[in-house]
């Protein structure tokens, strides 16, 4: 079980949560299926807000000697779980989102450091890929959906009593405490 704080407090039960520091994009416009691929600019125009966040990836496999390899985990729903959504980043389009240093602390100690530039180029790049993949399959994306854009600091396995804080510097922070 974990306690999460950002804009609100929640209590969730997950089998084997994994904290991943990620940007979250909330769409303000539909990106429906179409013949031509979406550009990064078009996808960016559809984003209503960008948020700092932690994805609490859910893995139904117990972390033991029989833990499967990553391809098996990805085939089992890509480990998606819950999202801790921070406050919207003011003027995110005019900020250097890609190069913003992001730090993941656990109980006050640095555990990981990263940036979008190092991990995913920019949050709009994987979002554009997703929009085009869903378009290709006839699904599309809809206004109001929130999309987690990929880990900036890798995955860690939490232990009971640990509090993880994702610090996005001037862009905000979010935290999750595992009970």
pLDDT of residue 75: 53
pLDDT of residue 155: 81
pLDDT of residue 34: 97
Handedness of CA 78, 79, 83, 84 (dihedral sign): negative
- From residue 4, alpha-carbon distances to 35, 49, 51, 176 in Å are 41, 21, 15, 4
In a 3-state reduction of DSSP, which class is residue 176? Answer: strand
pLDDT of residue 37: 98
pLDDT of residue 57: 79
Tokens of 5: 């704080």
What is the C-alpha to C-alpha distance for residues 25 and 48, in angstroms, rounded to an integer?
A: 8
- List the pLDDT tens digit at each of the 179 positions of the chain: 333 334 333 444 545 567 899 999 999 999 999 999 999 999 999 999 999 999 887 766 666 677 666 566 555 555 667 889 999 999 999 999 999 999 999 999 999 999 999 999 999 999 999 999 999 999 999 999 999 999 999 888 788 889 999 999 999 999 988 87
Task: Say if strands 17-27 and 2-5 run parallel, antiparallel, or are unpaired.
Answer: unpaired
In terms of Cβ atoms closer than 10 Å to its own Cβ (0-12, 13-18, 19+), residue 13 is: exposed
Neighbours of 106 (CB within 10 A): 17
Alpha-helix residue ranges (DSSP H) falling in the chain: 40-46, 70-75, 116-119, 124-136
In terms of Cβ atoms closer than 10 Å to its own Cβ (0-12, 13-18, 19+), residue 36 is: exposed
pTM for the full predicted model = 0.83
Range of the domain at 19: 2-178
pLDDT of residue 8: 37
CATH number of the domain encompassing residue 159: 3.90.850.10
What is the C-alpha to C-alpha distance for residues 24 and 5, in angstroms, rounded to an integer?
A: 15
Report how many domains make up the chain. 1
């Amino acid at each position: 079980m974990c306690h999460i704080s950002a804009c609100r407090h929640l209590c969730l039960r997950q089998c084997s949560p994994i904290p991943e520091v990620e940007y979250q994009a909330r769409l303000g416009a539909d990106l429906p299926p179409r013949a031509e691929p979406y550009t990064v600019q078009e996808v960016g125009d559809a984003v209503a807000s960008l948020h700092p966040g932690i994805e609490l990836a859910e893995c139904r496999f117990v972390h033991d000697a029989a833990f499967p390899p990553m391809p098996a985990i990805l085939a089992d729903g890509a480990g998606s779980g819950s999202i801790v959504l921070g406050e919207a980043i003011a003027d995110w389009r005019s900020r250097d989102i890609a190069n913003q240093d992001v730090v993941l602390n656990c109980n006050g100690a640095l555990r990981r450091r990263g940036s979008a530039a190092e991990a995913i180029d920019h949050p709009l790049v994987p979002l554009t890929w997703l929009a085009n993949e869903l378009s290709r399959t006839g699904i599309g994306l809809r206004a109001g959906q929130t999309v987690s854009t990929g880990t900036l600091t890798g995955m860690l396995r939490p232990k009971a009593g640990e509090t993880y804080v994702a610090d996005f510097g001037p862009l905000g922070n979010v935290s999750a405490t595992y009970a």
